[in-house]
Structure 1
Amino acid sequence: MTESPSSSESDSSADLLLIEDNPGDTRLLEEALSDLQSAHALHTVTTGDNALDFVHQRGDYTDAPQPDLIFLDWNLPRTSGEEILAQVKEDPHLAQIPVIVLTGSTADKSICTAYANHANACIRKGTDPETFLTTIRAVEDFWLSVAELPAPTES
């Protein structure tokens, strides 16, 4: 699968970073956002290593924007969602970015660990695509329409 530095317009009102290795879940999130006809740019990476490069603007992502909101799959191969979350929240230039953890796990331990590492929200993916679409739309509505997000910080 090819990594995509940007899959939307560059004049968007918010830059969203999706860190997800499952193409089906990526497609559902893209669909949820496109259905809303939002002007947000969705940037997608499929590995934890690329996610860290994106947020730190290094390697292939030196020109990547600082995300306004991160959707983070918790169960990634190699560099896990937990490791990514910890690194983002420990970095003073990134810590203010809201991170929404997406998990297919039904284990409460995963949810507790995500919140202990300062996730802003946790969402169970579930198996019903319509429910997932509705949930993502609600997240988008709250975080990008209701909540006030901080301006990106300079590194």
Structure 2
Amino acid sequence: MNRRLDCRPIEILLVEDSPSDANLTIREFGRAKIANNIHWVEDGESAMNYLRCQEEFANAVRPDLILLDLNLPGMDGREVLAEVKADASLKQIPVVVLTTSADEEDVLRSYNLNANCYVTKPIDIHQFIHVVQLINEFWLAAVKLPVE
């Protein structure tokens, strides 16, 4: 069943260590025409605990989409992506890598780890907002997300 048709919000896990980037992303997704809930964690360990409903995330809602920064403290986004895509219960969740890195090695490695797309965050705030709006429009309005 399509979440957009049954009026349930799309659940999004935002894994981002920058509070300013997280706040901008949350604000722009809040302006979406499609109902969504964003759950924000600041590091890779918290992301995996959230996804596995462990520790303080025992009652976490399974996300329909993950927005993942690569450059995280501790367990980085590459490690999170590898664990998510290696886990049979999580691998079908689409992962959008949203990072400042434009390094070709990061792009290639992310796709080799089965990222669903790779987006480089612009430094300019207006361009960053535009990129978040494009992600919002594509992943929330155009794409049919898997429903578990």
Counterpart position of 2:50: 54
Structure 1 counterpart of 2:93, from 97, 115, 126: 97
Paired position in structure 1 for 2:124: 128
Number of matched pairs: 142
Structure 2: which amino acid aligns with 1:21? D
Of 137, 140, 151, which aligns to 2:147? 151
In structure 1, stretches of 5+ residues that fail to align are 1-10
Q: Confirm whether residue 80 of structure 1 aligns to residue 76 of structure 2.
A: yes
Length-normalised TM-score, structure 1: 0.87
Q: Distance in 1 between matches of 2:70 and 2:49?
A: 17
- 1:92-121 residue CA offsets vs partner (Å, 9 max, x unmatched): 111110000011122111111111100001
The runs of 4+ residues in structure 1 deviating greater than 3 Å are none
* 1:112 and 2:92 are equivalent in the alignment: no
**Residue 63 of structure 1, aligned match among 55, 59, 82:** 59
2:9 to 4, 7, 13: 13
Deviations 1:65-103 (A, max 9, x none): 110000001001110100100110011111110000011
Matching of residue 138 in structure 1 with residue 118 in structure 2: no
Q: Is the 8 A contact 2:25 2:132 kept in 1?
A: yes
Structure 1 CA distance for aligned equivalents of residues 64 and 33 of structure 2? 18
> Letter of the aligned partner of 1:35 in structure 2?
R
1:41 corresponds to 2:37:
yes
Q: Deviations over 1:22-74 (max 9, x none)?
A: 01110110121122354200000001111000001111111101100000010
Whole-Å separation in 1 of the counterparts to 2:32 and 2:49: 29
Tell me the distance in 2 between the aligned counterparts of 1:14 and 1:139.
14
| Percent of matched pairs sharing the same residue | 35
